[in-house]
Amino acid sequence: MSDFTLVGQLPRHHYIWIDTEYTHREPIGFITAVWYGLVSLRGFVWGCTVMLESGAIYRNLPPHAIAFNDAPDKWDVCDAQRWDCYGERFTTLEYEYLQELEVSAHCNSGLLSRNCSGKYLFTVAPVRDGYSMYPHQAKEFTFVKLDNGRLTIQPTNHLVFYDRSFTKNKSMQFPLDVMKCQSEPTSCEERRK
């Protein structure tokens, strides 16, 4: 786990396809690339840094331009990411327990909301910005490789994981009716006063 400012690396690289509509003057469809880095700009979507087969580096590619096969579903920026970046500082990590777990992500493209299934990739946690320092707003960004060939980046309250040896929620529906958001941090010293 490392602390990055503006740019950083993934916990491990991923072989992907990218939509050349975002990278080429004359788009040619999807081409292979290696995704290894991220860019975080306050108020914008995560940027992906990739290497093309030509050896060229493309920086700040939007997440809806990333695919995990050469014929993915049509995808929108709102499907790809729920919230814009909070600031320039972040850390990346891959929770070992969540590696390769099945996950249901609540994706939202305008008025269309749906659950999309996939596999956990890694987590990015913003640090030292106005939102992450405020308990009501602090969130982690979870990057998910979806079964439809696309990438989605969601906060934990839009995800349900399935661990075959532990979880009992086979429907993989988020338990909205029983869960509440944590709004205050807990302090033992404050309690003693």
What ranges do the domains of the chain cover?
Answer: 2-172
Window from 48-57, 85-94, 168-177 with minimum mean pLDDT: 168-177
Tokens of 125: 């946690």
Q: In the predicted model, what is the mean pLDDT of residues 94-106?
A: 90
Q: Residue 91, Cβ neighbours under 10 Å: how many?
A: 15
User: Which DSSP helix (H) or strand (E) runs through 13?
Assistant: strand 7-19
- Average pLDDT of the chain is 84
* pLDDT value for 111: 45
- Of all residues in the chain, what percent carry a pLDDT higher than 70? 77
- In DSSP terms, which residues pair with 51 in a beta bridge? 34, 57
Sign, Cα dihedral of 36, 41, 47, 50: negative
- In sequence order, the β-bridge partners of residue 141 are 124
- The amino acid present at 162, given as its one-letter code, is Y
Q: Which residue shows structure tokens 């600031």?
A: 87
Q: What tokens appear for 144 in the block?
A: 């998910």
- Secondary structure class of 25 (helix, strand, coil): coil
pLDDT, mean of residues 78-100: 89
Across 63-72, 98-107, 147-156, least confident range:
98-107
Q: Please give the pLDDT value at position 131.
A: 60
pLDDT (0 to 100) of residue 140: 87
Going by C-alpha positions, the residue among 155, 116, 166, 162 that lies closest to residue 132 is 155
Q: What is the pTM of this model?
A: 0.86
Contact between residue 142 and residue 70 where contact means Cβ atoms under 8 Å apart: no
Task: Give the C-alpha separation, 113 to 116, whole Å.
Answer: 10
Q: Are 47 and 99 in contact (CB under 8 A)?
A: no
Is residue 20 classed as helix, strand or coil in its secondary structure?
Answer: helix
Return d(Cα 105, Cα 124) in angstroms, integer: 16
